[in-house]
Amino acid sequence: MIYKDRIPKNLISIVEEKLQGLENEITFPPPVFDIMKGEIVDFDIEQGIFKNKFPVLKEYLNPYGNMQGGIIATIIDNTIGPLSMLVSKPNFTRYLQIKYGKIISPETEHIYVIAKFIEQKKRQLFFEAVVENSHGEKLASAAATNWIID
């Protein structure tokens, strides 16, 4: 199912075209995206770039009061995942490597994930992502390899 009320109007036709015939099998954006209170900020399908915004909520904090690493991994996957659906046939994350750079405290309020499609080699898709604050400061980075389902 495509939730047209949760994606930018200029992305709807692209999503409908890419997911044609799969609307009953795939949810876009996925339910976890809503749970994380994600927001699609920008996309450039020709450049293979997708940008999302996520709040830093107290429910996402570790015992030290900073955003938990697993939550950071989830928001990265929630940005690479939708991009992967738009650049390829159905696929899944096979590897996700994350480098945490700086702590993300509640004072940050929102973080942005910018994912980029790098290339496809046979059934493998390669992506990179950066997590930034509102000032463009890099907080974490990631590389992912997805596998095309055949």
The overall longest dimension of the chain from CA atoms, in Å, is 46
Residue 94 banded pLDDT, cuts 50, 70, 90: very high
pLDDT of 23 above 90? no
User: 24-57 pLDDT, tens per residue?
Assistant: 788 888 889 989 999 999 999 889 999 999 999 9
Mean predicted lDDT score pLDDT of the chain: 92
Q: Residue 31's pLDDT is what?
A: 87
Query: What gap in Å lies between CA 150 and CA 147, rounded to an integer?
Result: 9
> Class for domain 36-148, per CATH?
alpha beta
Tokens of residue 31, six digits: 């339910």
Give pTM, 2 decimals.
Answer: 0.91
Q: Residue 102's pLDDT is what?
A: 95
- Min mean pLDDT across 14-18, 62-66, 75-79, 80-84 is at 14-18
Q: Residue 142's pLDDT is what?
A: 98
Q: How many CB atoms lie within 10 A of CB 58?
A: 7
Torsion sign (Cα): 11, 133, 97, 119: positive
**Percentage of the chain exceeding pLDDT 70:** 100
Residue 10 banded pLDDT, cuts 50, 70, 90: confident
Q: Residue 27's pLDDT is what?
A: 83
Burial class from Cβ neighbours inside 10 Å (0-12, 13-18, 19+) for residue 107 reads: exposed
